[in-house]
Amino acid sequence: MPTVPFARWRPDVANLNSAYASDVLNVLIAADDYIPFPKLAPFSNAVPGTVTGGFSARNSAGQIVIFVGTTTKLYKLNGTTLSWDDVSRPATTYASTVDERWRFEQFGDFVVAVNVNDNPQVFQIGVSTTFDNLAGSPPKARYVKSWGDFLALMNLNGNEKRVHWSGLNNITQWTPGVNSCDFQDFPDGGVVQGSSSATNPFVLLKRAIYAATFVPGSQSVFSFTKIHDKRGAAAPYSIASRGPLTIFADSGGLFQLNSDGSIAPVGFEKIDRTVFSRISGANLAGIYAEMDPFFNRYYLAVKYSSSASFDRLIIYDWGIGEFTQISNTVGILFPLASGTLGYTLEGLSAVSASLDALPFSLDSKVWQGGAPVMAAIDATNKLGFYSGDNAEATITTQEFGATDGSLTRITEAMPVIDTQSALLSLGARMRRSPDDVVVWTAEGAQSANTGIVRKRSRARYHSFRLRVPENVVWTHAQGVTHNGVPAGVR
């Protein structure tokens, strides 16, 4: 019997007799198939207040320190109680908003937090008990990044086209002309939207991209060369980097900025039209992205509605070059650094009454000093990790059939997946007119003996849709084998 593989998710492309599908949800892409997506497992107590930013840092002992910022306060996760300790500067109420988010960066043992309405804040890991104003009178800024031996503040309060970097290896030195501290104003290309984190970074403006080159011993310190005109980051919080790779959203699409300065339109003729047509103008600037700290995945959180939370994750695997989408309501995303969480038994008891009821197993890498994981603040304001049970998955095949009017009869199909808990629907249409819709059969369960799902259909075009309920254990879904045979012409 022939096997129809589960198709790649490319909703911008016609799916008749192609290798693509328009209906794929809550799975991750693999080399030749799909794999499960783990649900977000809530872990902490709720953060008090509206969260507008989050960050994890790793100290010299290898222990992870987790911070979040709200509209009024900065908090650090308490490993004993799994509650959130207020580590704001004493007697300070901050003025962050969901549009003017907290942004964090680690520089050595220091964590710096900025938003454009407040003085830059600093916390020394292992020393500080609260944040304090960063010394040296640095300007208020929307964005912060480490540029090798410098800390850069970007899109300043009062000058949105400026970047201002610290003294060499001194984040308390902000006087231009002293110890290589200086600033750069960009005459065109719009406001500064962010940068990559590197000794020689890329600076992304709204309508231009500049390459910055550190020139030791020179009066200018950094030289800036425009490498792209009329192409920039329309959505500042969509900019995410890992190593030499930066991905960002411009108006209408996703782009990959490579280490040599070249740009690849990674969403073109894949997901750009479908995804960005559903994002209103007001929501475009607010889309939010992070890089997976271990796998080759870029997570883009988008809003298709007026909800306060993001209602979709668009995940791009740049190693494979394909996308999937996740139905997931989150407030913010942030990568959890490699290291140990270091929680105590009291902390575990705050999460669960028993070890069996923990949100993830004790051998999960969440507890260990192994590979890092993605974290998020969920809709209930709790910190969670993408290490839970499998989410409910929906995967479809391409639509297949002869274009000469021939009919195919199908009576049996078998999902190629390593579980017998999957449910299969058979979609058919005669397509007598261009707007003829697909008619889906009711879902059918697999036979316990053979794994076959018995469904009858006689039509010109067919497709299969597989649904794997949540919490079902499975590892790979490849396609559907069926017994379709010619059934004449109508």
Whole-number Å distance between alpha carbons of 175 and 183: 10
Q: How would residue 303 be classed by pLDDT, with cut points 50, 70 and 90?
A: confident
- pLDDT at residue 254, rounded to an integer: 97
Mean pLDDT over 327-347 rounds to: 62
Same domain (yes/no): 407, 459: yes
pLDDT at 310 over 70: yes
Residue 424: strand, helix, or coil: strand
- pLDDT at residue 347, rounded to an integer: 45
- pLDDT at residue 487, rounded to an integer: 81
Quick: pLDDT tens for 75-111.
999 988 899 999 999 999 999 998 899 999 999 999 9
pLDDT at 282 over 50: yes
What percent of the chain is helix, strand and coil (3-state, nearest 5)?
5, 50, 50
Range in 69-78, 236-245, 248-257, 328-337 the model is least confident about: 328-337
User: In this structure, is residue 277 part of a structural domain?
Assistant: yes
> Rounded to the nearest 5°, which phi and psi values hold at 470?
-65, 150
Mean pLDDT over 10-30 rounds to: 91
Higher per-residue confidence, 132 vs 279: 132
Q: Tokens 């005459």 identify what position? A: 187
Give the sign of the dihedral formed by CA 159, CA 149, CA 209, CA 52: negative
Q: Residue 65: which CATH number?
A: 2.120.10
| 82 touches 43 (CB < 8 A) | yes
Q: How would residue 490 be classed by pLDDT, with cut points 50, 70 and 90?
A: low
- pLDDT at residue 369, rounded to an integer: 45
pLDDT at 358 over 70: no
Same domain (yes/no): 112, 261: yes
pLDDT at 357 over 60: no
User: In this structure, is residue 156 part of a structural domain?
Assistant: no
Cα→Cα distances 102→19, 155, 425, Å? 42, 13, 45
Q: Which of 374, 389, 404 is the last residue of a domain?
A: 389
**Residue 282 in tokens:** 């007001």
Mean pLDDT over 363-368 rounds to: 49
**Residue 55 in tokens:** 């960050």
- pLDDT at residue 108, rounded to an integer: 92
Q: Which of 366, 389, 412 is the last residue of a domain?
A: 389
355: which DSSP letter? Answer: G
- pLDDT at residue 341, rounded to an integer: 47
- pLDDT at residue 93, rounded to an integer: 98
Whole-number Å distance between alpha carbons of 299 and 68: 19
Higher per-residue confidence, 361 vs 49: 49
Q: Which of 340, 371, 389 is the last residue of a domain?
A: 389
Torsion of CA 395, 401, 403, 409, to 10 degrees: -140
Same domain (yes/no): 332, 459: no
User: In this structure, is residue 165 part of a structural domain?
Assistant: no
Whole-number Å distance between alpha carbons of 26 and 329: 12
Residue 442: strand, helix, or coil: coil
Q: Residue 480: which CATH number?
A: 2.60.120
Mean pLDDT over 252-258 rounds to: 94
With a CB cutoff of 8 Å and minimum separation 6, the contacts of 192 are: 143, 154, 155, 160, 161, 162, 163, 186, 203, 204, 205
Same domain (yes/no): 370, 427: no
User: In this structure, is residue 466 part of a structural domain?
Assistant: yes
Same domain (yes/no): 365, 477: no
Same domain (yes/no): 383, 410: no
Same domain (yes/no): 310, 407: no
Whole-number Å distance between alpha carbons of 410 and 462: 9
Same domain (yes/no): 32, 42: no
Encode burial over 407-438: b for 16+ CB neighbours within 10 A, e otherwise. Answer: bbebebbbbbbebeebbbbbbbbebeeeeeeb
Whole-number Å distance between alpha carbons of 219 and 33: 54
> Average pLDDT, whole number, for the chain?
89
User: In this structure, is residue 181 part of a structural domain?
Assistant: no
User: In this structure, is residue 146 part of a structural domain?
Assistant: no
Spatial CA neighbour of 471 closest among 424, 426, 419 = 419
Quick: pLDDT tens for 393-443.
999 999 998 888 899 999 999 999 999 999 999 999 987 776 788 999 999
Mean pLDDT over 237-263 rounds to: 94
Mean pLDDT over 440-460 rounds to: 93
User: In this structure, is residue 410 part of a structural domain?
Assistant: yes
Whole-number Å distance between alpha carbons of 199 and 378: 34
DSSP readout, 13-36? S--BTSSEES--BSEEE-SSSEEE
Higher per-residue confidence, 405 vs 301: 301
The radius of gyration computed from the CA coordinates of the chain, to the nearest angstrom, equals 25
Quick: pLDDT tens for 132-163.
999 999 999 999 999 999 999 999 999 999 99
Quick: pLDDT tens for 182-221.
999 999 999 999 999 999 999 999 999 999 999 998 889 9
Number of domains observed in the structure of the chain: 2
With a CB cutoff of 8 Å and minimum separation 6, the contacts of 309 are: 303, 329, 330, 331, 379
Higher per-residue confidence, 307 vs 343: 307
Higher per-residue confidence, 405 vs 453: 453
Spatial CA neighbour of 432 closest among 396, 459, 462, 464 = 459
**Residue 110 in tokens:** 């220091």
Whole-number Å distance between alpha carbons of 172 and 154: 16
Same domain (yes/no): 295, 364: yes
Percent of the chain clearing pLDDT 70 (strictly above): 92
- pLDDT at residue 245, rounded to an integer: 95
Q: How would residue 372 be classed by pLDDT, with cut points 50, 70 and 90?
A: low
Give the sign of the dihedral formed by CA 153, CA 159, CA 162, CA 168: negative
Spatial CA neighbour of 236 closest among 337, 375, 141, 94 = 141
DSSP readout, 202-249? EEEESSEEEEEEE-TT-SSSEEEEEEEES---SEEEEEEEETTEEEEE
Whole-number Å distance between alpha carbons of 394 and 463: 13
Same domain (yes/no): 415, 266: no
Cα→Cα distances 295→316, 317, 399, 455, Å? 11, 8, 31, 39
Whole-number Å distance between alpha carbons of 70 and 466: 40
| 192 touches 161 (CB < 8 A) | yes
Same domain (yes/no): 341, 456: no
Higher per-residue confidence, 64 vs 32: 32
Torsion of CA 201, 204, 205, 209, to 10 degrees: 80
Q: Which structural domain range is residue 24 located in?
A: 3-37+393-489
User: In this structure, is residue 406 part of a structural domain?
Assistant: yes
- pLDDT at residue 469, rounded to an integer: 97
Mean pLDDT over 298-302 rounds to: 93
pLDDT at 361 over 70: no
Q: Where are the beta strands (DSSP E) in 222-356?
A: 222-229, 235-242, 245-250, 253-257, 263-264, 288-291, 297-302, 312-317, 322-326, 330-336
- pLDDT at residue 43, rounded to an integer: 84
- pLDDT at residue 488, rounded to an integer: 73
Same domain (yes/no): 326, 296: yes
